């Protein structure tokens, strides 16, 4: 959904809702994501250096360097696909790639801004604190909701719509907070429920 002013927010996380879930897969997903978590750990270490380089690049040029932006967006994409799998948004095992694939059932939608104010790398992380606080609460609630969803999947092979939307919104809020805090998006995220 778009913000109340009628324009689409430039960062969102979407998913194709499964019809039926594998009944016992949620019990072992934590084990299946371990290889991804190792890869993401390496990517996050690289992302630290990429963020530092983009900090300097943005301060000097007023633009987020294109290859660095796409790398950081890819790290977000990979991380949130794995989170979506772990939090039961999808049953499709995530690919080991920064790019979108034809088999994806979860998508990060993000638009790269052409210009970024030079002050933004200095202050964006402070400005996002209120939104990030709410996003972190939603993330904690999504963890609890996914635990509850395990039981509904065991018995019905489905997740109730409200639980599914709560988890998906939490992922979207996390992406929006991170993109703004890392000056990858220049529009402040809306405090609204997207779905």
Structural domain contains residue 187: no
Q: pTM here? A: 0.92
Give the pLDDT score at 195.
Answer: 65
Please compute the mean of the pLDDT values over residues 132-145 and round it to a whole number.
97
Q: How far is CA 127 from CA 10, 96, 178, in A?
A: 18, 33, 12
Residues found in the chain? 195
CB atoms inside a 10 Å sphere around CB 167: 26
Residue 24 placed within a domain: yes
Containing domain of residue 19, as a range?
11-181
Q: Please report whether residue 63 resides in a domain.
A: yes
> Is residue 62 in some structural domain?
yes
The string of pLDDT tens digits covering residues 40-72 is 999 999 999 999 999 999 999 999 999 999 999
* pLDDT for position 3: 40
Band of pLDDT at residue 193, cut at 50, 70 and 90:
confident
In a domain, 21, yes or no: yes
Cα-based torsion angle of the residue sequence 171, 172, 177, 178 in order, rounded to the nearest 10 degrees: 70
Residue 19: pLDDT band with limits 50, 70, 90: confident
Whole-number pLDDT of residue 1: 35
Rounded to 5°, angle at Cα 183 from 168 and 13:
15
Task: Please give the Cα distance from 138 to 169 (Å, whole number).
Answer: 8
pLDDT at 5 > cutoff 70: no
| Residue 125, pLDDT above cutoff 50 | yes
Q: Does 83 have pLDDT greater than 50?
A: yes
6 in a structural domain: no
Q: Using a pLDDT cut of 90, give the percent of the chain over it.
A: 93
The total number of structural domains in the chain stands at 1
**Domain-embedded: residue 125:** yes
Q: Tell me: the pLDDT tens digits for 108-121?
A: 999 999 999 999 99
């Amino acid at each position: 959904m778009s913000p109340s002013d009628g324009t689409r927010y430039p960062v969102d996380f979407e998913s194709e809702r499964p019809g039926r879930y594998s009944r016992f897969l949620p019990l072992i997903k934590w084990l299946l994501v371990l290889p991804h978590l190792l890869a993401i750990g390496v990517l996050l270490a690289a992302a630290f250096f990429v963020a530092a380089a983009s900090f300097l690049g943005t301060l000097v040029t007023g633009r987020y360097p294109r290859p660095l932006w796409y790398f950081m967006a890819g790290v977000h994409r990979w991380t949130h696909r794995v989170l979506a799998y772990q939090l039961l948004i999808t049953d499709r095992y995530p690919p080991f790639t920064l790019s979108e694939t034809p088999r994806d059932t979860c998508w990060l939608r993000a638009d790269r801004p052409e210009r970024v104010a030079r002050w933004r790398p200095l202050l964006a992380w402070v400005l996002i604190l209120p939104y990030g606080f709410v996003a972190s609460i939603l993330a904690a609630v999504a963890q609890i909701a996914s635990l509850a969803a395990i039981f509904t999947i065991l018995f019905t092979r489905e997740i109730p719509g409200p639980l599914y939307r709560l988890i998906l919104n939490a992922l979207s809020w996390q992406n929006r907070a991170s993109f703004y805090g890392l000056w990858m998006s220049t529009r402040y995220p809306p405090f609204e429920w997207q779905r």
